[in-house]
Amino acid sequence: MEEIHEALATLILVLAALHVAGVAVESLRHRENLVLSMLTGTKRPLAADDRS
C-alpha cells in the first residue's frame, strides 16, 4: 500500500511540473503572461495577427 501511495504522489508531482512547463511554453508562444491572467481572471484582447 505504501508503494502505491508513493507512486501516486510522484505522479502528481510529475503532472504538476508538466502543467507548469506547459504554462511557461504557452506564455512564451503567445507572448502573454498567463500566470497573471490566471490570477486576475482577465486577458488582453486578441490582436489581428493572433487569430488563426
b/e burial code for range 37-48 (CB count within 10 A of at least 16 → b): eeeeeeeeeeee
- Average per-residue pLDDT in the chain? 88
Q: Quickly tell me which residue has 497573471 as its cell.
A: 36
> What pLDDT, in 10s, does the model give residues 8-17?
999 999 999 9
Assess contact for 27 and 33: CB atoms under 8 A.
yes
Angle at 36 between CA 41 and CA 30, to 5 degrees: 100
Cα gap 31→9, rounded to integer Å: 33
**What pLDDT band is residue 18 in, cutting at 50, 70 and 90?**
very high
Cα gap 38→15, rounded to integer Å: 18
